[in-house]
Structure 1
Amino acid sequence: MDSIKIQIPSLSENIRIIESFIDNAKERFSLNDDIYGNIMIAVTESVTNAIKHGNSGDKSKNVHLSLTIQDNQIVFTIRDEGNGFDHTNLPDPTSPENIDKPGGRGIFLMKHLCDEVNFKDEGRIVELSFYLN
């Protein structure tokens, strides 16, 4: 099992560090372009949510990102230090009353780009899984 970890303070400009982390993973594990694109969007979206919503932009709180490769899948685990949220009760961004609202599409996007999305620890931990085939 191969695993890499990083943590960043909750500042939106630190997303570029996450992008570099993903670029390094692409090189190290020879990820194909299709999966790489999905990973880049889903993971940066999840980290952005952790910074903005999870840690409420508090730069004294960190976002933790780890990547694990196991059994022909790559799993990114994103953890924030916030209060968590109810991931079972999110508005559908595709319903007519929400279509014009900014935001609210991140988790929807993640669910469509990943093979699996799991929330743990009351929403403070998100696991994004991608199958390598």
Structure 2
Amino acid sequence: MVFKSEIKNINLVERLIDDISAKYQLHSDIYGKLLLAVVEGVNNAIVHGNKLESDKDVILQYQITDKDIQFVITDSGSGFDYWNLPDPTKPENIEKTHGRGIFLMKHLADKVQFNEKGNEVRVVFNLT
């Protein structure tokens, strides 16, 4: 799925996850985790990666096996240093209104991996 960097396109992602969940009869726990983590990843790609520039694309791919479901989210941005993220649970960061997305993704998914550049993330959920 390829779409422009507009917040309204998150609806397309939500619909895709709904369709996948129904087609593969995913457990409600997995559905909830998928929905939150993938939408967060797409939101990060639109807002932080592509800086809300509507001429830039976000690419969302997925693959399902008997063991897991994987989503790969790629933006057109320059990437970021995912090794040096502030810990949102530290007292100095608790009241900040941003900075929790990747933390949330890592706690919901079974695996979160970034490419070297930092403009692509693979989010894996175990199905077994």
Give the TM-score range, shorter chain.
over 0.9
**Structure 2 residue aligned with 1:112:** 107
Gaps of 5+ in 2: none
Kindly state the Cα deviation for residue 121 of structure 1 after the two structures are TM-superposed: 4.0
Supply the distance in 2 between the matched residues of 1:89 and 1:70 (Cα, whole angstroms): 32
**Structure 2 residue aligned with 1:123:** 118
Give the secondary structure class of the aligned counterpart of 1:122. Answer: coil
Cα deviations across residues 63-117 of structure 1 (Å, max 9, x unaligned)? 1001101351100100000000000000000000000011100000000000000
- TM-score under structure 1 normalisation? 0.94
Gaps of 5+ in 1: 1-5
More divergent stretch after superposition (49-58 vs 63-72): 63-72
**Structure 1 residue aligned with 2:30:** 35
Aligned residues: 128
- TM-score under structure 2 normalisation? 0.97
Aligned residue among 64, 70, 74 for 2:65: 70
**Structure 2 residue aligned with 1:24:** 19
- State the percentage of identical aligned residues: 48
More divergent stretch after superposition (78-87 vs 61-70): 61-70
C-alpha RMSD of the superposition: 0.8
